Amino acid sequence: MKNLFALLALCCVLTAFLKPSKPTLYLIGDSTVRNTNAPQAGWGSQLASYFDTTRISINNSAMAGRSTRTFISEGRWDKVHNALKPGDFLIMQFGHNEGSAPDTTKAGRRGVLKGTGEETKDLVWPDGRQETVHTYGWYLRKFIKEAKAKGATPMVASMIPRNEWKEGKVIRATNDYGKWAAEVAKQEGVTFIDLNSITADKYDKLGPYEVKKFFPGDHTHTNEAGARLNAESVADGIKAAKRLPLTKFLAKK
């Protein structure tokens, strides 16, 4: 009996000295989140400077060229999902690669059905593999529900704005992917980071000439300076969220 008590006492002492593992903030998305094609850069590469990384880790699992559909079909979501643990966080930002009509061609392999409903489209690939394509909102809900089931806190971010202007204002995604991202976040009761609008407001103030400096090759992919501005917008959106546990890990600036 004495040995048992001694063992229990030792366990208590060891437990007291064990440091709890840091939570991880996982990022999933496309090349606007993670881009290794310099001088282009995704905002995920700049996000760590807005967090206290002694208390939280950041894992940027985004991949260039992926849509919600292909991020899942290629097994990339499975890897993130398997790694999630209670207390972790997840930010998803998709929308740039979803626009093509979904089919089995090179052009259509990334496409999803528009909207947030339960519509589907069944495909058969040349090798006989069958695939059911869903709406943009359905894929976001899958990420959210499966992250919640692992005890993680999922957040939905709208896509960063492209360098496209109309009547002196940046064109926003408020009629399609930004709108649908907001709808799903509300339906599922998770934080929505309106990255599209937050950054667009900054672009509008800077004007087309200054904003063009952020886009070295096309109208979608920013350089490091643009990525830093977008990372700041993500941090702004997190700060503005109510009762979001992630806010306590932001760096004090």
Per-residue pLDDT of 10-46, as tens digits, reads 444 444 344 568 999 999 999 999 999 999 999 999 9
Kindly state the helix (H) or strand (E) to which residue 169 belongs, with its residue range: strand 169-170
| pLDDT more than 70, % of the chain | 92
Tell whether the model's pLDDT for residue 111 goes beyond 70.
yes
Tell whether the model's pLDDT for residue 6 goes beyond 70.
no
Tell whether the model's pLDDT for residue 63 goes beyond 70.
yes
Q: What is the pLDDT of residue 19?
A: 54
Secondary structure class of 234 (helix, strand, coil): helix
Q: What is the pLDDT of residue 15?
A: 41
Secondary structure class of 135 (helix, strand, coil): strand
Q: What is the pLDDT of residue 252?
A: 86
Region 143-170: mean pLDDT is 97
Q: What is the pLDDT of residue 10?
A: 47
- What CA–CA distance (Å, rounded) separates 164 from 56? 35
Query: Mean of the per-residue pLDDT values for the chain?
Result: 93
Residues 6+ positions from 132 with CB-CB distance below 8 Å: 120, 121, 122, 123
Residues with catalytic roles:
31, 218, 221
Region 67-92: mean pLDDT is 98
